[in-house]
Every structure is written in C-alpha cells, then in structure tokens.
Amino acid sequence: MAKRKFLQAEWNNLLMLNYEVDPEILKPYLPFATVLDLYEGKALVSMVGFLFQETSVLGVKWPFHVNFEEVNLRFYVKHFDGTTWKRGAVFVSEIVPKSLIVLVANNLYKEHYSAMPMRHSIAPAGDYTTYLYEWKLNGAWNKLGGTVSNRFEDIEPNSGEEFIFEHYWGYNSLGAKKTMEYQVEHVSWQVAQVKDPVFEADIAKLYGEKFTPFLKKPPFSAFFAKGSEINVRIGKKITTALTPAISPAF
C-alpha cells in the first residue's frame, strides 16, 4: 500500500547538466543498502535547476512557500528490496530561497538543503528558450543555465535521458546502518535538446574540493524536461540490506 502523500507540487523547467566523476568521491555519500547506478559504466552526477510551483505540504499551501527555485547536485543509486531493484537519487546539496523548507526537509527527511537568495529568468528567442537559475553565495551570483529547443519529445527507451530522468525513489543516509527511502511519482516527462550549457559556481565552497576537477569540465550531457505535477510520499526507514542472487545490468 502506498504511503500518504507528504508533498504535492509541480516541478517545471528542469535543466540537467550531467558530469562524469570518479565513483570514489561518491562513496562517502552512499546510503546504507544502496549501490551506485552507473550509465554505460560511468558514475554521473547532475547539476539540476528547476521551479517548484503550486507546492503544498500535507495538503497545506504555506504562504510565500508555494512557488520558488531549486538547484541541486545529485547522483544515482539502486536499492534491492528483496524482490526488485529500485532506481533512485541521492542529493549531495539542495539550494532553495526559503528557510522554512530547509528546516522541514532536513529534519524530517535528513536532506541536505541550504537557503540562499535565488532568482531565475526565461528568455524566448525564436525556436529556442534560454533558462537561467542563479543563487547568491558570499555576495556573488552563481549560475546554471542553457539554451533549450522549443521542440519537446517523449523520452526514448534506453537513452541517456531515460537514465537521468526515470528515477522514482529518493534515498538519504540516516547513519551507518539506516537509510530513509521515499517515493516520487510523476508521469514520464517530455524532453528537449540543450545547447550552450552554463555552469559558473564556487564549486569548492558549495560541494567540496573533490568535486571541483569534475564539475569544471564540460558536461557529459545536458538535458531539459518540461516537468509535471509530482507527489512525494512519506518515507520509510531501511535497516536491512538484502542481496539478490544476481545483480542485473542496468
């Protein structure tokens, strides 16, 4: 039986710049009972910018906390529940402009939110639209953006877009032998091509020196999704690691 809905919202205009990293730098962030989910043998992290809109928590829309930006750094894992492999994401950092969101998410879900001034812009130009997400750290504006085709298509099976976008579980570490798991529900998104990706940030201060050499390189890939309504279900704790007879290739 599905858990009660914790969060309902729209996630719109999702820009993903994806970078190959040394899997060793992700191991300290790997929750109990999960393993890295690799794409063609590569460990990928994603810089993600998007809009939270029409947000409600436990059915309540909190004043001044309904529409806002988020920028996060995430990577990809899988968890075996005894029957099937679940594909999910783990967040290294999540930035929003609202302190209340930080308080709730970090305490209830053990997320890694921080609050900073944020802004975004959307600039249509012919067959393309430029999206830019910005957040202010130590007096300087950091940037994540790209120029996106206005032509949207369904996600192709076994594509890079499918790997990045089709993860419907979130995992957070609660300690050496305990993990929080929560379900994310949304329709399969339509995607568009991205050109001229932009990422200008103080990587070391935001994410640590170990990420700097990887995030300073051009992205391995860049994707954009239109987005949709989403649900995040109330989480549950995992305290047992189950091992399948054979680990399938993804």
Q: Identify the pLDDT of residue 108.
A: 65
Q: Identify the pLDDT of residue 26.
A: 98
Spatial distance between the Cα atoms of 242 and 222, rounded to a whole number of angstroms: 34
What is the percent of the chain where pLDDT is above 70? 94
Q: Is the dihedral of CA 236, 10, 71, 136 positive or negative?
A: negative
Q: Which of 190, 191, 186 is nearest to 224 (CA)?
A: 191
Q: Identify the pLDDT of residue 6.
A: 84
> Can you tell me the mean pLDDT for 128-156?
98
- Locate 2 and state its tokens: 């599905």
Spatial distance between the Cα atoms of 174 and 231, rounded to a whole number of angstroms: 22
**Which of 18-32, 110-124, 180-194 has the weakest average pLDDT?**
110-124
Spatial distance between the Cα atoms of 109 and 115, rounded to a whole number of angstroms: 16
Model confidence at 138, pLDDT cuts 50, 70, 90, reads very high
Model confidence at 247, pLDDT cuts 50, 70, 90, reads low
pTM for the predicted model, two decimal places? 0.93
Model confidence at 244, pLDDT cuts 50, 70, 90, reads confident
> Can you tell me the mean pLDDT for 162-180?
95
What is the enclosing helix (H) or strand (E) of 105? helix 99-108
Residue 177 has pLDDT above 80, yes or no: yes
The CATH homologous superfamily for domain 5-238 is: Acetoacetate decarboxylase-like (2.40.400.10)
Q: Identify the pLDDT of residue 113.
A: 86
pLDDT tens profile 65-101: 889 999 999 999 999 999 999 999 999 999 999 877 7
For residue 187, the one-letter residue type is: V
For residue 105, the one-letter residue type is: A
Model confidence at 227, pLDDT cuts 50, 70, 90, reads very high
**Averaged confidence pLDDT in the chain:** 93
Spatial contact of 75 and 94, defined as CB atoms under 8 Å apart: no
Model confidence at 232, pLDDT cuts 50, 70, 90, reads very high
Q: Identify the pLDDT of residue 39.
A: 98
Burial pattern 190-229, b for ≥16 Cβ within 10 A else e, equals bbbebeebbbebebeebbeeebeebbeeebbbbbbbebee
Spatial distance between the Cα atoms of 179 and 241, rounded to a whole number of angstroms: 10
> Can you tell me the mean pLDDT for 133-146?
98
Q: Identify the pLDDT of residue 101.
A: 74
